[in-house]
Amino acid sequence: MKIFAFAGSNSSTSINRELVKFALKSFSEHEINFINLNDFEMPVFSVDREKNGFPEEAKKFLSEIAASDIIICSLAEHNRSYSAAFKNIFDWASRIDVKVFQNKPMLLMSTSPGGYGGGNVMAEAQKFFPMFGADVKETFSLPKFYENFDLENGVINPEMLKDLQDKIERFKSATAL
C-alpha cells in the first residue's frame, strides 16, 4: 500500500507534522510519501490567476494523491480554520479536480497547543472533505500538544495514546492494511 501523508502547515516546527510522523510509525511496512507543504508553494489562488493556467505544484499535489492508496494528514488550525498554506494548495487543486482526495480512505488528525486539539478545523474538514473526495475513515484530535506529546516518544498521555492506537487499528481494518 502507498500512503500519501502531510501536515496542513508550512511551519518548520509544525506540531501537526510531528503528529503525522508519529502516526506513520504504525505504517512502517508500507510505502510512505510524506510531503512538506513548503514544496508546493504557489501564488495565492484567484480566478484572475486561474485564467493563466494552473501551477505545476497543484498538478503535482493531485498526481501524488493519485499515486497513493490512502491519505494520512493532520491539519493545523489557524484562526478556527485551515492554515493559509494548506487552503491555497487545496483551492488550486480543487479547481483542477473537485475530487481533490480522489475517493481515497483518509485518517484525519489535528493537534494544537490548546485544549481543543484543533477541533474547529477538524469539524470543518469532516464536513467538507467528503465533498472533495475524501473517504474519512477515522479521526483523531490531540489537545494540549506540549503536555501530551514528546518529540522523542510521541503521544505520552496513556489514554490518548490508546485512543490513537485503536483508531489506527480500525483504520487499518477498514482499508485492508
- What's the pLDDT tens digit per position in 20-69? 999 999 999 999 999 999 999 999 999 999 999 999 999 999 999 999 99
Whole-model pTM over 0.75: yes
Angle (CA) 90-4-23 rounded to 5° is: 110
| Distance separating alpha carbons of residues 15 and 35, to the nearest angstrom | 15
Per-run averaged pLDDT (10 residues), the chain, 177 residues: 97 97 97 98 97 98 98 94 96 98 98 90 95 98 97 97 98 93
pLDDT on residue 16: 98
